[in-house]
Amino acid sequence: MTEAEPLLAHKSNCVYCAARPLGVCGALGDGEAFRELRDSRRAVRILDAGMPIYRQGDPTGDLFNLVSGWVVQYQDLEDGRRQVLRFLVPGALFGYEPSGIKGMCHGADALTNASLCVVPAARMAELRARHVEFNERFVWMLERDSRLAFDHLTSLGQRDARERVAHLLLELAIRSTGRYPIEPGETFKIPLNQPLIAEATGLTSIHVNRMLRRLREDQILDFRNGRLTVINPELLVGVAGITDTLLTLWTRAGRAEVEVPCAQHA
Amino acid sequence: MTEAEPLLAHKSNCVYCAARPLGVCGALGDGEAFRELRDSRRAVRILDAGMPIYRQGDPTGDLFNLVSGWVVQYQDLEDGRRQVLRFLVPGALFGYEPSGIKGMCHGADALTNASLCVVPAARMAELRARHVEFNERFVWMLERDSRLAFDHLTSLGQRDARERVAHLLLELAIRSTGRYPIEPGETFKIPLNQPLIAEATGLTSIHVNRMLRRLREDQILDFRNGRLTVINPELLVGVAGITDTLLTLWTRAGRAEVEVPCAQHA
DNA sequence: CGATTGGTTGATTCTACTCAAGCCCGGTGG
DNA sequence: CCACCGGGCTTGAGTAGAATCAACCAATCG
- Predicted confidence (pLDDT) at residue B185 exceeds the cutoff of 70: yes
Residues lining strand C at under 7 Å (Cβ) are A 193-195, 205-206, 209-210, 212-213, 224-225; B 160-162, 202-204, 206-207
User: Would you list the DSSP string of chain A?
Assistant: --TTS-TTTTGGG-SS-TT-TTS--GGG-SSHHHHHHHHH--EEEEE-TT-EEE-TTPBP-EEEEEEES-EEEEEE-TTS-EEEEEEE-TT-EE----TT-SB-SSEEEESSSEEEEEEEHHHHHHHHHH-HHHHHHHHHHHHHHHHHHHHHHHHHHH--HHHHHHHHHHHHHHHHH---S--TT-EEE----HHHHHHHHTS-HHHHHHHHHHHHHTTSEEEETTEEEES-HHHHHHHHT--HHHHHHHSTHHHHTT-PPPGGG-
Which residues fall within 8 angstroms of residue B64, CB to CB, at 6 or more apart?
Answer: B45, B53, B93, B94, B95, B108, B116, B117, B118, B119
* C-alpha separations of A182 from A177, A179, A232, B71, B172 in Å: 10, 8, 9, 38, 42
d(CA A243, CA A245): 5
What's the pLDDT band for B31 if we cut at 50, 70, 90?
low
Query: CA nearest B197: which of B188, B189, B209, B187?
Result: B209
At B123 the pLDDT is 87
**pLDDT score of B264:** 33
Domains of chain A with bracketed CATH: 11-149 (2.60.120.10), 159-250 (1.10.10.10)
Residues A258, A247: Cα–Cα separation, whole Å: 16
Query: Is pLDDT above 60 for A196?
Result: yes
For residue B245, give the nearest of A99, A101, A245 by CB distance. A101
Q: Average per-residue pLDDT in chain A?
A: 83
Q: What is the pLDDT at residue A39?
A: 66
Any idea which nucleotide's C1' is nearest the CA of B213?
A: D10
* CB nearest A146 (choices: B128, B149, B245): B149
Contacts B241 to A, Cβ<8 Å: 77-78
B158/A77 touch (CB, cutoff 8 Å), yes or no: yes
Q: Give the DSSP H/E element, type plus range, for residue B125.
A: helix B121-130
Is it the case that residue B2 has pLDDT exceeding 80? no
Query: Would the CB atoms of A153 and B156 count as touching at under 8 Å?
Result: yes
Q: From the CA of B202, how many Å to the C1' of D25?
A: 37
Question: So what's the pLDDT on residue B35?
Answer: 65
B134 → chain A, closest CA residue: A129
Among chain A residues, CA nearest to B130: A132
pLDDT band at residue B190 under the 50/70/90 scheme: very high
Backbone angles phi, psi at A86, to 5 degrees: -170, 165
Q: Which amino acid is at B194?
A: Q
- Give yes or no for a contact between A241 and A167, defined as CB atoms under 8 angstroms apart: yes
- Residue A133 banded pLDDT, cuts 50, 70, 90: confident
Q: What nucleotides of chain C have any atom within 7 angstroms of a protein Cβ?
A: 6-10, 15-20
pLDDT the model gives residue B39: 65
> Has residue B6 got a pLDDT over 70?
no
Residue type, B207: H
Q: Evaluate the omega torsion of the peptide bond into residue A195 and state whether it is cis, within 30 degrees of 0.
A: no
Angle at A129 between CA A127 and CA A130, to 5 degrees: 65
Residue B49 to chain A, least CA–CA distance (Å) = 24
A24: confidence class by pLDDT, cuts 50, 70, 90: very low
pLDDT at B127: 87
Pick A2 or A121 by higher pLDDT: A121
Give the whole-angstrom CA distance, residue A69 versus residue A48: 10
Phi, psi of A120 (to 5 degrees): -65, 145
Average pLDDT over residues A120-128: 89
B194 pLDDT exceeds 60? yes
Task: Report pLDDT digits (tens) over A210-232.
Answer: 999 999 999 999 999 999 999 99
> Minimal Cα–Cα distance from A11 to chain B, Å?
31
- Tell me the β-bridge partners of B114: B47
Q: Which residues contact A229 (CB under 8 A, 6 or more apart)?
A: A185, A186, A187, A221, A222, A223
Question: pLDDT tens, A43-82?
Answer: 789 999 999 999 999 999 899 999 899 999 999 999 889 9
- What pLDDT was estimated at residue B4? 33
pLDDT reading at B10 higher than 50? no
Nucleotides of D under 7 A from a protein CB: 8-12, 17-22
- Phi then psi for residue A209, to 5 deg, are -55, -45
Nucleic strand D interface residues, CB < 7 Å: A 160-162, 202-204, 206-207; B 193-195, 205-206, 209-210, 212-213, 224-225
pLDDT of res. A204: 96
Indicate yes or no: CB of A243 within 8 angstroms of CB of B147: no
| Inter-residue contact A150 to B149 (CB < 8 Å) | yes
> Per CA to C1' distance, which residue is closest to C16?
B207
B16-45 mean pLDDT: 54
Chain A positions in Cβ-Cβ contact with residue B98 (cut-off 8 Å): 140, 143-144, 147, 249, 254
Task: Flag whether pLDDT at B260 surpasses 60.
Answer: no
What is the distance between the terminal CA atoms of chain A, rounded to a whole angstrom?
Answer: 29
Residues B156 and B222: beta-carbon distance below 8 Å? no
**Percentage, residues of chain A above pLDDT 90:** 62
Instruction: Dump pLDDT digits (tens) for B127-152.
Output: 888 888 889 989 999 999 999 999 99
Instruction: Check if the beta carbon of residue B127 is closer than 8 Å to that of residue B134.
Output: yes
Q: Are B45 and B116 in contact (CB under 8 A)?
A: yes
Nearest to B135 among A135, A243, A246 (CB): A135
Partner-chain contact B97 A244, CB within 8 Å: no
Res B3 pLDDT > 50: no
**A99 vs B contacts (CB less than 8 Å):** 140, 143, 257-258
C1' of D7 to CA of A143 (Å): 37
- Look at B158 and A202 and tell me if their CB atoms are within 8 Å: yes
**Taking 90 as the threshold, does the pLDDT of residue A242 lie above it?**
yes
What count of Cα atoms within 13 Å lies in the side-chain half-sphere of residue A185?
Answer: 0
C-alpha A177/C-alpha A164 separation (Å) is 20
Rounded Cα distance between B203 and B210, Å, is 11
Residue B74 CA to its chain's centroid (Å) = 12
Nearest 10 degrees: CA dihedral of A92, A93, A97, A102?
110
